[in-house]
């Protein structure tokens, strides 16, 4: 595959004369474009349904987007290393279920401990996947596809197939997601905190930069002495830990833990990433893009029912978004390559 | 020794013959049979075996082209969605008055088109990899099925359609006959034709294959199109057995199909593996599931077992390679 | 004192890869403040040797001494810490990251305590290093946007940033023009004057004469010897590198030159080459040479249908040729021996028989069904014809030596009914014995009426084998030289001199 890819790199230049400079510009203004699209979408929806841009609905969108954007951070790191993680929906469900069961057993447990339980479970899941990917060298798609089923099965097994519903959860647990500080919802605050930490991690720590390095060129990472295996392991563990956190928040927010919680949610997360310009080919991805991608998806999910689009269209729309986003990313990349070629004087 | 004389006959060693992955699968299959017959005294009844086979062969049709896809070093996780889409369209058309015969043909056509679209996208956008393309189409295809049928079930097919999944020809289930037919066709295609040879070449070294004049794009599109067609055939048999269809039909089939292929000894790195291994794995997993069903293992537990089976069957060759390397050092 | 005499010494290094001995009992001594040239043809083991020094590969046998102390590197970082830096032949960098990050990858400046990266300091330091090296781009530029020469400067800045005491440069001039090479020479000398010891790997003589005081030669993975540069004569050095005198090596016979087979008229492909015109006749061997990256391979791949040109025309046997794939090219009669036989030429995991028959599956199949008997017969016949040394047609291609592998790729070409053969670096990484066998084969093929385009960077074989030579520089043909006017100096002038405008350099017989 890799050989074919490098070989085709030479070919890609041909046949795309028209899109060349235009798509290079898209790369520069991707974030601006996303922002513009968000504004247009919002105005459009608002015209159809005036209750869209109300304070209540906006804060609803924000809390819904918070969980998605937390997961998108982890997924961005995974995709930057040329990987993918299909198991996060199941990890989220498992850790949400375990923490819900814990608080229903011990209602006096401090909510922070409940969060700790969820994050811990997610972390273990992530560590297992990281081990499979980095040490046993299993393709990420296969490893996470397999573990997705294992985690999903475990979720059913731990709960005995039953739900944990609102009345089984103590108020303090539900308050994790519904409470607020200075009038701002906790979920939003947590998401902001995670973005700040993530920003620091990817731009100001060695390890963070090396995540990009191994995605940009794995062979030379090996030569320059970067311990690729460890970083891969770390990335999948972070993804697992964030999924665990998201699991607790999800269960707390919806006050219900089920066997099929967040089934298929990984697809929304991947969509948010590719929409935000994270390159499937590795090495490229910005937090600012990812957060806009997540916000756009959050608005879309909220807006579609408001303009009477049937919920059954959701899958199709999401899939199309992923496909179009990766195609645009690819064309943008080709445009940049083409521009670089044109600049070479011969 | 005269160096210029190059032999063109292969030396066959007994040890080499028996040290093949397929024999391990045969042993495991025997083990599963022994286990199952201990669990149920009726297991080895020919009628019982027959019915057990009918229960798991529907997805086996996708295993055959999936062997080709994984041999190419690619993957297709959209197959289950293709099953759902072609099944739903068929049922929808029939319930809107289209004759069943025509609906069946359209079902096959839809599957083929879905597979072709996958192949085309993968070939035209080489930088995207089959993973992400089929991930997107997986969502889109099932998404269309949801748009068409929402959360309804659709069924009431004519009685002849039921024959596909439940009928017998000369005491042998029709689905088994169909599978054997396709298995032979795909076996010949892979091992006896130039097409199969080219697939192996591409799986081992796609660049060298292209420089040797192989039309790699064309072959890749054909392989993915075949996967679409066979998914539609699975849709026919599955719909027939279920008696009705809904958009969430065949959920998780991609996992089982891929698990069967890699358990059959086909390497996810491409270029290595044989059809017979995957066919053995179909029966191995099928009878294993049947046996676990006998002892009332829950569907959830089965999910876990399938996941673990997939991981273990890809991990074994990787670990083997690692240990072999360590020993050389 | 033995300790101070050599900063680096390697004794009896042997490195084995599956099926190949990449280094066989090799010695090397480096004095402080010395520029030491390491020479040898492609595939002599130079690149593996560097990877042993830098800790990428662990040798099976032999010892390595640093300032007289025995060391063994388990990991590339060990070598980095010991003050060894390497600038690799294929620039190894991170195209998606900034120049600063590329320079500091692996040894970023971090704040004590918080472990935060000190970006400002790194950018400043990078800027200072780049300025010192005379580079005109900002340290915040993305690496992927730089030219090869600029990327090389970044690699050197990287070596400077770790204060490397030993700097290894692996064929740094292979892709550089004359001015760029001059710049590199100056930088290298400055590094030496600042106290670094430098191993300069090249197969270009002018690099060695210009820079080095000592030269060590490898051939066929073996150590041949070490000399003072002013002590060894040019012919002796060639004998050391090639293993015999040039006149004995090339069995070039005068083939009967026939009608024109192929003509390129103003062929161009944006970003790769432009205005390429030449012609090829039956029985002729046309050399195509120039620096690495001058566009030679791209022209050949276009002829073979691997990629498309966007300007000009190709005329083949009097008709305009439009091939869209290698399959079509082979059908009309153009065959290509690719540059990288392991990646492009062979399926290494397969036996040689299957490799040979891969381009011609149609010949022994009936409606798509393979006929094994016929296939094996053809494979055996062709393998014997090109003289592959192997036990049977089932011997794995990966188990063969470089020379035998190349013969297998030649055998693949013989399966088709071809008129034009494009041979891209046909003797790269091939031992001397196999080399002369390959030259003989090329000569025979020309005699048999094929038109041959031979792409090569090896001056001796271009001069020894070709009837005419087209020289490329930066995507253009700068000279077409006849056999009479064929000298090393003329070729070098045409391939490296960037003072004169490209189109003015045409000499000899035109296209």
B17 against A213, higher pLDDT: A213
Which residues face C466 on adjacent strands? none
Measured CA to CA, the distance from residue C226 to residue A139 in angstroms comes to 48
The per-residue DSSP string of B105-174 comes to: HHHHHHHHHHHHHHHHHHHH-GGGHHHHHHHHHHHHHHHHHHHHHTT--EE---HHHHHHHH-EETTEEH
Residue B17 falls within a domain, yes or no?
no
The pLDDT, as a whole number, for residue B76 is 95
Q: Which of C261, C246, C277, C272 has the alpha carbon at shortest distance from C436?
A: C246
C386 neighbors C379 (Cβ within 8 angstroms):
no
> Other C-beta atoms within 10 Å of C394: how many?
19
Shortest Cα–Cα distance, A247 to chain C (Å): 31
**Could you tell me which of A98, A104, A153 has the C-alpha nearest to residue A121?**
A98
String of DSSP letters for C14-28: EEEETTEEEEEEEEE
Q: Is A25 part of a structural domain of the chain?
A: no
Residue pair A223/A213 in contact by the 8 Å Cβ criterion: no
- By Cβ distance, the residue of B73, B147, B207 closest to A312 is B147
What is the torsional sign of CA B57, B62, B63, B65?
positive
A284 vs C contacts (CB less than 8 Å) = 96
pTM: 0.88
* CB < 8 Å to B258, chain A: 142, 145
Beta-carbon pairs below 8 A across chains A and B: 164
Nearest to B74 by CA among B257, B212, B254, B224: B224
CA dist C318 to A19, B216, C281, C282, C334, Å?
A: 36, 30, 12, 13, 14
Q: Report yes or no: C226 and C216 within 8 Å, Cβ to Cβ.
A: yes
Structure confidence at residue A75 as a pLDDT band (50, 70, 90): very high
Instruction: Report strand pairing: C420-424 vs C451-455.
Output: parallel
Q: Flag whether residue A5 sits within 8 Å of chain B, measured between CB atoms.
A: yes
> DSSP label at B249?
T
Buried b (16+ CB within 10 A) or exposed e, C256-283: eeeebbbbbbebbbbbbbbbbbbbbbbb
Start-to-end CA span in chain B (Å): 32
Residues 6+ apart with CB under 8 A from B32: B284, B287, B288, B291
Residue B144 lies in a domain: yes
Could you give the C-alpha distances from A126 to A153, C90, C363, in angstroms and in order? Answer: 16, 36, 53
Name residues 268-307 of chain C within 8 A of A (Cβ): 268-274, 295, 298, 301, 306-307
SS3 A2: helix
**Residue C255 DSSP code:** P
Residue (of C48, C5, C46) closest to C29 by Cα position: C5
Up-side HSE of residue B288: CA atoms within 13 Å toward CB? Answer: 19
Rounded to a whole number of angstroms, the CA Rg of chain A reads: 21
Tell me whether residues A132 and B150 touch, CB distance under 8 A: no
Distance separating alpha carbons of residues C208 and C206, to the nearest angstrom = 5
Q: Do B140 and A139 touch (CB under 8 A)?
A: no
Size of interface A-C (CB pairs under 8 A): 104
Assign A1 a pLDDT band (cuts: 50, 70, 90).
very low
| C205 secondary structure, DSSP code | H
The C-alpha atoms of residue A60 and residue A49 are separated, in whole angstroms, by 16
Interface test with B, best of C17, C59, C344 (most B CBs within 10 A): C344
The tokens of B282 are what? Answer: 């179909």
Domain that holds residue B102: 54-250
Tell me if residue B244 falls in helix, strand or coil: strand
How are beta strands C468-473 and C285-290 bridged, if at all?
parallel
**Packing angle, helices B129-149 and A314-343, rounded to 10:** 150
Residue written as tokens 């390129």?
Answer: C264
Interface check for C142 against chain A (CB to CB < 8 A): the answer is no
Is there a contact between C344 and B3 if contact means CB atoms under 8 Å apart?
A: no
C170 and chain A: CB distance < 8 Å anywhere?
no
Give CA–CA dist B239/B95, Å, rounded. Answer: 14
**SS3 label, residue C80:** helix
Residue B1 lies in a domain: no
Highest mean pLDDT among B68-77, B146-155, C91-100, C147-156: B68-77
CB C170 within 8 A of CB C47: yes
| Half-sphere exposure of residue A196: CA atoms within 13 angstroms, side-chain side | 6
pLDDT at B55 over 60: yes
Contact between A250 and A262 (Cβ < 8 Å):
yes
- Nearest by CB: C369 against B192, B201, B214: B192
Across the strands, what pairs with A180? A185
Task: Return the residue in B5, B189, B204, B213 with the most chain C beta carbons within 10 A, the one to mutate for interface testing.
Answer: B213
Q: With bands split at pLDDT 50, 70 and 90, how would you rate the model's confidence at A262?
A: confident
The owner of tokens 């756009």 is A296
Collapsing DSSP states into helix, strand and coil, what is residue C479?
A: strand
DSSP secondary structure of C455-472: E-S-HHHHHHH-SEEEEE
Q: Which residues of B touch A154 (CB under 8 A)?
A: 304
* B104: in domain: yes
Q: Do A216 and C307 touch (CB under 8 A)?
A: no
Contacts of A218 in chain C (CB under 8 A): none
The torsion angle over the Cα atoms of residues B61, B67, B68 and B73, rounded to 10 degrees, is: 140
Q: Helices marked H in chain B — which ranges?
A: 14-18, 21-39, 46-56, 60-71, 79-95, 100-124, 129-149, 159-166, 174-191, 194-204, 206-211, 216-242, 253-263, 275-294, 299-328
**Mean residue pLDDT across chain A:** 86
d(CA C165, CA B9): 57
Provide the CB-side half-sphere exposure for A318 (13 A, CA). Answer: 27
pLDDT 10s per residue in chain C (511 long)?
444 588 999 999 998 876 677 888 999 999 998 999 998 877 778 888 988 998 888 898 999 999 888 998 888 888 888 889 888 766 678 888 999 999 998 888 888 888 889 999 999 999 999 988 888 889 998 888 887 778 888 888 888 888 888 999 988 887 777 778 888 888 889 888 888 899 998 877 778 888 899 999 988 888 999 999 888 887 788 788 877 665 666 777 777 888 999 999 999 998 889 999 999 999 999 999 988 778 899 999 999 999 999 999 999 998 998 899 999 999 999 999 998 888 899 999 999 999 999 999 988 888 889 988 889 999 999 999 988 888 888 989 988 878 889 999 999 999 988 999 999 999 887 777 788 889 989 999 999 999 999 999 888 888 889 999 999 988 899 999 998 888 888 888 888 776 544 443 333 333 3
The yes-or-no verdict on residue B6 having pLDDT over 90 is no
In chain A, the percentage of residues whose pLDDT exceeds 90 is 51
Range of the domain at A244: 37-345
Query: With a CB-CB cutoff of 8 Å, which residues 97-156 of chain A face chain B?
Result: 132, 136-139, 141-143, 145-150, 152-154, 156
Q: How far is C2 from chain A (nearest CA, A)?
A: 31
Q: How many domains, chain B? A: 1
Kindly determine whether residue C326 and residue B4, on different chains, have CB atoms separated by under 8 Å: no
C260 vs C223: CA distance, rounded Å:
45
Task: Look at residue A9 in the predicted model and tell me its pLDDT.
Answer: 35
Classify the C-alpha dihedral B202-B205-B208-B210 as positive or negative.
positive
Distance from CA of B80 to the nearest CA of C (A): 31
Residue C207, both tokens: 């690099």
Is residue B21 one of the residues assigned to a domain?
Answer: no
Question: Nearest residue of C to residue A226 by CA position?
Answer: C106
Distance of residue C63 Cα from the nearest chain A Cα, in angstroms: 21
Query: How would you class C67 by CB atoms within 10 Å of its CB: exposed for 0-12, middle for 13-18, buried for 19 or more?
Result: middle
Structural domain count, chain A: 1
- What DSSP assignment string belongs to C258-293? -SEEEEEEEEEETTTEEEEEEEEETT-EEEEEESTT
CA distance C261 to C84: 52
pLDDT score of A225 more than 80: no
In which element (H, E) is residue A321 found?
helix A314-343
Q: Is the CB of residue A204 less than 8 Å from the CB of residue C116?
A: yes
- Residues 6+ away with beta carbon under 8 Å from C430: C43, C402, C403, C406, C438
Domain of A240: which CATH number?
A: 1.10.3470
Q: Which chains touch B (3 or more CB pairs under 8 A)?
A: A, C
- pLDDT-derived band of residue A20, with 50, 70 and 90 as boundaries? very low
Cβ distance of B307 and A147 shorter than 8 Å: yes
Residues of B in contact with C396 (CB under 8 A): none
pLDDT over threshold 90, residue A29:
no
Kindly list the residues from chain B whose CB atom is less than 8 angstroms away from the CB atom of residue A1: 73-74, 129, 206, 270
- E strands, C20-103, in order: 20-30, 35-39, 61-66, 69-71, 84-87
In the 8-state DSSP scheme, what is residue C509? S
């Amino acid at each position: 595959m890799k050989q074919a890819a490098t070989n085709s790199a030479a070919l890609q230049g041909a046949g795309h004369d028209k899109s060349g400079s235009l798509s290079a510009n898209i790369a520069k203004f991707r974030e601006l474009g996303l922002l513009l699209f968000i504004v247009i979408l919002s105005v459009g929806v608002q015209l159809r349904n005036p209750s869209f841009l109300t304070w209540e609905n906006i804060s609803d969108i924000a809390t819904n987007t918070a969980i998605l954007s937390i997961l998108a951070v982890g997924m961005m790191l995974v995709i930057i290393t040329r990987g993918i993680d299909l198991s996060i929906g199941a990890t989220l469900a498992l850790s949400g279920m375990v923490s819900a069961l814990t608080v229903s057993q011990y209602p006096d447990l401090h909510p922070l401990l409940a969060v700790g339980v969820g994050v811990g479970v997610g972390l273990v899941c992530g560590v297992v996947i990281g081990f499979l990917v980095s040490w046993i060298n299993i393709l990420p798609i296969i490893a996470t596809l397999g573990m997705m089923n294992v985690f999903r099965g475990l979720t059913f097994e731990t709960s005995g197939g039953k739900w944990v519903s609102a009345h089984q959860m103590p108020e303090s647990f539900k308050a994790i997601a519904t409470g607020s500080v200075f009038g701002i919802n906790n979920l939003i605050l947590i998401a902001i905190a995670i973005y700040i930490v993530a920003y620091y991690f990817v731009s100001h720590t060695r390890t963070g930069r090396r995540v990009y390095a191994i995605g940009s060129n794995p062979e030379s990472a090996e030569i320059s002495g970067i311990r690729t295996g460890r970083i891969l392991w770390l990335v999948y563990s972070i993804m697992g830990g964030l999924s665990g956190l998201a699991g607790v928040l999800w269960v707390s927010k919806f006050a219900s833990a089920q066997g099929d919680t967040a089934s298929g949610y990984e697809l929304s997360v991947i969509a948010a990433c590719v929409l935000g310009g994270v390159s499937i080919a590795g090495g490229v991805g910005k937090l600012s893009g990812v957060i806009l991608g997540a916000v756009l998806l959050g608005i879309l999910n909220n807006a579609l029912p408001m303009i009477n689009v049937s919920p059954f269209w959701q899958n199709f729309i999401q899939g199309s978004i992923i496909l179009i986003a990766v195609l645009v990313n690819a064309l943008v990349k080709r445009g940049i390559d083409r521009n670089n070629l044109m600049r070479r004087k011969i | 020794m005269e160096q210029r004389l190059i032999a063109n006959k292969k030396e066959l060693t007994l040890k080499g013959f028996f040290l093949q992955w397929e024999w391990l699968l045969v042993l495991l299959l025997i083990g599963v049979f022994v286990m199952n017959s201990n669990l149920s005294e009726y297991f080895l009844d020919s009628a019982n075996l027959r019915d057990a086979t009918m229960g798991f062969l529907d997805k086996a049709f996708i295993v055959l082209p999936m062997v080709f896809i994984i041999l190419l070093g690619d993957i297709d996780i959209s197959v289950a969605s293709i099953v759902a889409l072609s099944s739903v369209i068929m049922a929808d058309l029939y319930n809107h008055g289209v004759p069943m015969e025509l609906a069946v043909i359209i079902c096959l056509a839809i599957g083929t088109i879905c597979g072709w679209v996958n192949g085309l996208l993968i070939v035209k956008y080489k930088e995207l990899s089959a993973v992400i393309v089929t991930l997107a189409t997986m969502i889109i295809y099932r998404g269309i099925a949801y748009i068409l049928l929402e959360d309804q079930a659709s069924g009431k097919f004519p009685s002849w359609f039921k024959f596909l999944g439940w009928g017998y020809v000369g005491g042998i289930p029709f689905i088994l006959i169909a599978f054997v037919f396709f298995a032979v066709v795909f076996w010949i295609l892979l091992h006896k034709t130039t097409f199969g040879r080219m697939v192996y070449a591409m799986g081992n070294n796609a660049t060298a294959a292209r420089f040797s004049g192989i039309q790699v794009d064309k072959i890749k599109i054909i392989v993915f199109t075949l996967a679409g067609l066979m998914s539609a055939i699975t849709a026919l048999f599955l719909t027939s057995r279920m008696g009705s269809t809904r958009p969430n039909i065949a959920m998780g089939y991609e996992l089982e199909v891929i698990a069967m292929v890699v358990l059959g000894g086909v390497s996810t790195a491409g270029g290595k593996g044989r059809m017979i291994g995957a066919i053995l794995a179909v029966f191995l997993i099928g009878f294993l599931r049947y046996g676990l069903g006998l002892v009332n293992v829950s569907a959830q537990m089965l999910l876990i077992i399938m996941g673990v089976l997939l991981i273990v069957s890809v991990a074994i060759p990787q670990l083997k390679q690692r240990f072999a390397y360590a020993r050389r050092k | 004192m033995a300790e101070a005499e050599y900063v680096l010494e390697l004794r009896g290094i042997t490195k084995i890869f599956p099926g190949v001995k990449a280094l066989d009992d090799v010695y090397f001594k480096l004095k402080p403040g010395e520029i030491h040239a390491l020479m040898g043809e492609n595939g002599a083991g130079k690149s593996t040797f560097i990877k042993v020094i830098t800790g990428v590969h662990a040798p099976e046998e032999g010892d390595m001494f640093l300032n007289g102390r025995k060391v063994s590197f388990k990991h590339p970082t060990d070598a980095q810490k010991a003050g060894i830096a390497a600038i690799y032949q294929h620039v190894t960098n991170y195209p998606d990251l900034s120049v600063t990050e590329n320079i500091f990858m692996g040894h970023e400046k971090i704040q004590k305590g918080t472990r935060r990266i000190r970006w400002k300091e790194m950018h400043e330091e990078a800027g200072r290093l780049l300025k010192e090296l005379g580079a005109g781009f900002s340290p915040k530029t993305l690496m992927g946007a730089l030219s090869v020469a600029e990327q090389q400067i970044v690699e050197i800045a990287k070596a400077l940033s770790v204060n490397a005491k030993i700097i290894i440069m692996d064929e740094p001039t292979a892709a550089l023009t004359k001015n760029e090479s001059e710049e590199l020479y100056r930088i290298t000398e400055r590094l030496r004057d600042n106290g670094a010891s430098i191993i300069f790997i090249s197969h270009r003589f002018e690099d060695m004469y210009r820079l080095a005081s000592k030269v060590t030669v490898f051939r066929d993975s073996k150590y041949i010897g070490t000399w003072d540069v002013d002590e060894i004569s040019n012919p002796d050095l060639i004998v050391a590198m090639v293993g015999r005198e040039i006149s004995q090596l090339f069995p070039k016979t005068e083939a009967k030159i026939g009608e024109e087979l192929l003509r390129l008229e103003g062929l161009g492909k944006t970003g790769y080459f432009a205005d390429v015109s030449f012609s090829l006749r039956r029985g002729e061997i046309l050399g195509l040479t120039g620096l690495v990256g001058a566009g030679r391979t791209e022209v050949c791949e276009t002829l073979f249908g691997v990629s498309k040109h966007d300007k000009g025309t190709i005329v083949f046997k009097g008709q305009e040729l439009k091939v869209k794939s290698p399959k079509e090219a082979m059908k009309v009669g153009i065959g290509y021996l690719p540059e990288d036989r392991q990646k492009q030429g062979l399926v290494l995991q397969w036996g040689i028989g299957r490799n040979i028959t891969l381009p011609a599956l149609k010949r022994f199949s009936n409606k798509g069904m393979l006929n094994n008997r016929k296939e094996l017969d053809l494979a055996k016949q062709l393998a014997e014809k090109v003289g592959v040394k192997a036990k049977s047609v089932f011997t794995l291609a990966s188990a063969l030596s470089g020379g035998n592998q190349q013969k297998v790729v030649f055998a693949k070409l013989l399966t088709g009914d071809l008129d034009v053969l494009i041979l891209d670096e046909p003797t790269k990484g091939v031992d001397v014995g196999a080399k002369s066998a390959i030259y003989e084969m090329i000569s025979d093929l020309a005699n048999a009426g094929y038109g041959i385009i031979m792409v090569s960077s090896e001056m001796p074989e271009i001069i020894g084998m070709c009837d005419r030579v087209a020289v490329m520089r930066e995507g253009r043909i700068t000279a077409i030289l006849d056999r009479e006017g064929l000298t090393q100096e003329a070729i070098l002038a045409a391939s490296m001199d960037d003072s004169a405008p490209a189109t003015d350099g045409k000499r000899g017989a035109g296209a």
